[in-house]
Amino acid sequence: MSSPQRDITLRFLAEPQDVNFGGKVHGGAVMKWIDLAAYACSAGWSSRYCVTAYAGGIRFVSPVHVGNLVEVSAKIIYTGRSSMHIAIEVNACDPKSLDRRLTTHCIVIMVAVDESGQTVQVPEWIPQTDEDKQQHATAIKLMEMREKIGEEMRIYI
């Protein structure tokens, strides 16, 4: 039996229908690509259908232009019982030069579910390298921060 796939990169060409009123690719199009990559990564890891539970810390660093080759890289950085925390990085370039630049990055949490929508257990990801361990520790810190933010937000709901 082969081991689960931890990471994936999807590639798209930014098309004219992706443009916003400012002439750049709409943030919503980028967010759709992020969700697609997070799904492909989580399904590859868990061998299950997965749903998006959280997308946060989305940082738009630089614009994507029509005609750019867009690469959306997704990588598991933490697993819970049924959840997978996925680091996403979006890079874009002119396909003629292939000089990539970071455009967006974020964390997405996906949850594996069965046919009735109930959560199911996923394989545990164990960090191996120093970089893996650092990313794992960052995921834990971010979980703690999200919990604190959630507590603060409850007073407004």
Q: Is residue 133 part of a domain?
A: no
Q: Which of 38, 46, 51, 31 is nearest to 10 (CA)?
A: 38
Structural domain range at position 57: 7-125
Taking only the tens place, the pLDDT of each residue in 32-46 is 999 999 999 999 999
Q: Is residue 141 part of a domain?
A: no
- Identify the residue whose tokens are 């925390």: 85
Cα-Cα-Cα-Cα torsion 106, 107, 112, 113, nearest 10 degrees, comes to -70
User: For residues 1 and 34, is the Cβ–Cβ distance under 8 A?
Assistant: no
Taking only the tens place, the pLDDT of each residue in 49-73 is 999 999 988 999 999 999 999 999 9
Q: Is residue 38 part of a domain?
A: yes
The number of distinct structural domains making up the chain is 1
Q: What's the predicted TM-score (pTM) here?
A: 0.91
Q: Is residue 146 part of a domain?
A: no
Q: Is residue 86 part of a domain?
A: yes
Q: Is residue 17 part of a domain?
A: yes
- Identify the residue whose tokens are 């959840």: 83
Q: Is residue 149 part of a domain?
A: no
User: For residues 24 and 63, is the Cβ–Cβ distance under 8 A?
Assistant: yes
Provide the CATH number for the domain around residue 120.
Answer: 3.10.129.10
